[in-house]
Structure 1
């Protein structure tokens, strides 16, 4: 009998840090996502806003996801948002549903916190993640942040 394992999120620890730092997306995708080390630095300096997690399947680290929580989007207190900050799926693990799992896990965490919408930004381009996010139900807005498109998913 085969045991089917579901992916899960895990907090980062000294025991899994090296695996997290070793994650690499496909070379043609590097323009669209920061390395995990950059994300962990962001999480370190913004601990109240960052929710970093590893995506694990069995004993394999297959990806990294980080949500942002209650960010003051316009720096004036009028637009507080939460959403998906970073998503890195290992090059050889893409196309297996881990990205979808990660987005759904972030959505569930935000729902648990009472959030009504999940925001994401992405770099446009042939190898960018736009189709992935649109397929998951994100709606592309007219808004841009530093040349990145903004999408929103009602929760």
Structure 2
């Protein structure tokens, strides 16, 4: 598994990465993620396609070292994490988080924040197993905010 920059050459293949239909209410598509990144440059979006060999299997987007404000959590916020429906259950989600944690820790991060839409089938169990804990906050969109203490991760 490797994180790959999205280019004109691989953009369509990355956009074709789709979560299971039952998960679509919990995570925006890659195409929507690109739009959100371009509409919110102040969020300092950093995104990568996730490849296994020559096949795109996922996508990740992080707000990278931004100055937190009323509308933006950070400095490091896991904005999107998705694994293609056909590739789920193979450990890619954990591997992606492991690599993101390694990269942001190397950049000086001590915490990674994320959020999720609550509901049946939401990603909360995955994040909690990884070590994220609820902060007690609910954001303006009704999402539960979680934090991962990077000093507690090996």
Q: Which residue pairs with 1:107 in the alignment?
A: 101
Please provide the CA RMSD for this pair: 1.8
Q: Could you list the per-position Cα deviations for residues 61-87 of structure 1 after superposition, in whole angstroms to 9, with x for gaps in the alignment?
A: 00000111234443399x742121101
Q: How does 1:4-43 map to 2 (within 5 A)?
A: 7-43=1-37
1:149 is aligned, of 115, 125, 144, to 144
Contact 1:84 1:103 in 2 (8 A): no
Residue 91 of structure 1 corresponds to which residue in structure 2?
85
Structure showing greater Rg:
1
Unaligned runs of 5+ in 2: none
Instruction: Give the conservation status (yes or no) of the 8 Å contact 2:63–2:74.
Output: no
1:125 offset after TM fit, Å?
1.1
Residues 39-48 or 143-152, more deviating: 39-48
Between Structure 1 and Structure 2, the one with more strand by share is: 1
Other structure's SS at 1:152 match: strand
User: Partner of 1:33: helix, strand, or coil?
Assistant: coil
Other-structure match for 1:138: 132
Does 47-56 or 134-143 show the bigger shift?
A: 47-56
Partner of 1:3: none
Describe the SS at the equivalent of 1:25. Answer: coil
Q: Which residue of 2 aligns with 1:54?
A: 49
Quick one: distance in 2 between partners of 1:82 and 1:50?
10
How many Å apart are 1:113 and its aligned residue? 1.1
SS of the residue corresponding to residue 82 of structure 2 reads: strand
Q: Give the conservation status (yes or no) of the 8 Å contact 1:63–1:87.
A: yes
Moved more, 38-47 or 113-122: 38-47
What TM-score does the superposition give when structure 2 sets the normalisation length?
A: 0.89
8 Å CA contact retained: 1:140, 1:149: yes
Aligned to 2:120: 126
How many residue pairs align between the two structures? 148
